[in-house]
Amino acid sequence: MTRLIFINGTMGAGKTAVCRLLQNKLPANVFLDGDDVWNMRPFTVNGATKEMVLSNIGAVLENFLAIGQFDNALFCWVMHEREIVDDILSRLKTPFDFRFFTLTCEKAALRARLEKDIAAGTRTRGIIARSAERAEHYRNMGSEIIDTTHLTAEETAAQIAAKLLNEDFTAKAFAALPAEAKVIREEVFVREQGFCEEFDERDKKSRHVVLYYRQNPAGTCRFFADEGGWHIGRVALLQKYRGLHAGERLMRFAEEQVRAAGGRQISLDAQVRAAGFYEKCGYSPAGEIFEEEGCPHKRMIKKL
């Protein structure tokens, strides 16, 4: 089911910039700015044009939901009254999960942002008074309020993404290789990277981790004890979930499992091209580079 994310706030709060950045932080998403269906010359506000805009918004959002190919649908608009939000939602027929964020900003900071836009020619001076008046309407929206006064658009987007992704990603450990892990490893290591000898006897003595994004398998790894301690391997993440810090979540969960089993050190054999990722996870090189199926690897170690 697609998650529909509304972001509202007065003019200058940063809605559009935040949504565009969120597109790089959430998987499989699509974005509509309410102003895109309100862009007319001359700008005319009356009963007919208001209904046209709401109808257009409802139609586009319904199409986003009905196609069933997006995990997240982003929508931003001023929406200074809860009735506007409810009107739009009432026009949607396809079931969805709903999250609602309101961006607020202190008056001085809001004015400074709008002054920059006026100087750049993207807004007219009357926007300051209109925005200040609208700002008073956002106190009781039933939304999650984020004060952006001291945040950049990037920081605001990161905060929202963290809230959503922390809820979305879960992980589970299995005593035997589950079907989900096998599918992920075949996709990443066999079809994508061209390895032939993917499954081996170590799978039988390993515990396997599957990372899920909203109940959908996203990544996997295995861990096992050997003479040198504990070892993590076959770390794989489906392409659509890369760039979301999902790999770090997968590694942390596996490390927690090892720690709970009494492990105090973990080793892994990293592809050299992925060594930077493991360094960010706290692993250090420990040995010479070697090849496995023609791919250079190096041993890395982390103390828990």
CA 133 to chain centre: 33
Say what the pLDDT of residue 126 is.
58
Question: Are 230 and 223 within 8 A, CB to CB?
Answer: yes
Say what the pLDDT of residue 186 is.
96
Rounded average pLDDT over 201-218: 95
What class, spelled out in words, does domain 175-303 have in CATH?
alpha beta
The sign of the torsion formed by the CA atoms of 280, 285, 286, 291 equals positive
Question: Are 198 and 210 within 8 A, CB to CB?
Answer: no
Instruction: Name, of 68-77, 121-130, 131-140, the range with top average pLDDT.
Output: 68-77
The sign of the torsion formed by the CA atoms of 239, 73, 145, 78 equals positive
Examine the pLDDT at 227 and tell me if it is beyond 80: no
Q: Identify whether 27 is preceded by a cis peptide bond (ω within 30 of 0).
A: no
Examine the pLDDT at 291 and tell me if it is beyond 90: no
The sign of the torsion formed by the CA atoms of 219, 225, 227, 230 equals positive
CA distances for 122 relative to 32, 41, 118, 191, 209, angstroms:
20, 15, 6, 48, 50
User: Which is higher by pLDDT, 26 or 13?
Assistant: 26
Q: What value does the mean pLDDT of the chain take?
A: 90
Domain 3-166 and domain 175-303 have a common topology: no
Question: Are 264 and 228 within 8 A, CB to CB?
Answer: no
pLDDT tens string 177-190: 999 999 999 999 99
Structural domain boundaries in the chain: 3-166, 175-303
Q: pLDDT-derived band of residue 287, with 50, 70 and 90 as boundaries? A: confident
The sign of the torsion formed by the CA atoms of 122, 124, 128, 133 equals negative
Q: What share of the chain is helix, strand, coil (3-state, %, to 5)?
A: 40, 25, 30
Output the six-digit token pair for 162: 């963290």
Rounded average pLDDT over 154-171: 95
Say what the pLDDT of residue 110 is.
66
Examine the pLDDT at 66 and tell me if it is beyond 90: yes
User: Which is higher by pLDDT, 141 or 170?
Assistant: 170
Question: Are 217 and 170 within 8 A, CB to CB?
Answer: no
CA angle 278, 282, 284 (to 5 degrees): 75
Say what the pLDDT of residue 36 is.
93
CATH of domain 3-166: 3.40.50.300
Q: pLDDT-derived band of residue 102, with 50, 70 and 90 as boundaries? A: very high
Examine the pLDDT at 114 and tell me if it is beyond 80: no
Element (H, E) at 256: helix 246-260
Residue (of 275, 292, 293, 291) closest to 283 by Cα position: 275
Examine the pLDDT at 228 and tell me if it is beyond 80: no
Q: How far apart are CA 253 and CA 102, in angstroms?
A: 32
Q: pLDDT-derived band of residue 125, with 50, 70 and 90 as boundaries? A: low
Rounded average pLDDT over 224-239: 91
User: Which is higher by pLDDT, 271 or 227?
Assistant: 271
Query: Which pTM value belongs to this model?
Result: 0.79
Q: Which long-range contacts (C-beta less than 8 Å, at least 24 apart) are formed by 289-294?
A: 293/195, 293/196, 293/197
Examine the pLDDT at 135 and tell me if it is beyond 80: no
Angle between helices 107-120 and 127-135 (to 10 degrees): 150
Q: How far apart are CA 77 and CA 32, in angstroms?
A: 9
Q: How far apart are CA 174 and CA 290, in angstroms?
A: 30
User: Which is higher by pLDDT, 127 or 55?
Assistant: 55
pLDDT tens string 232-282: 999 999 999 998 899 999 999 999 999 999 999 999 999 999 999 999 999
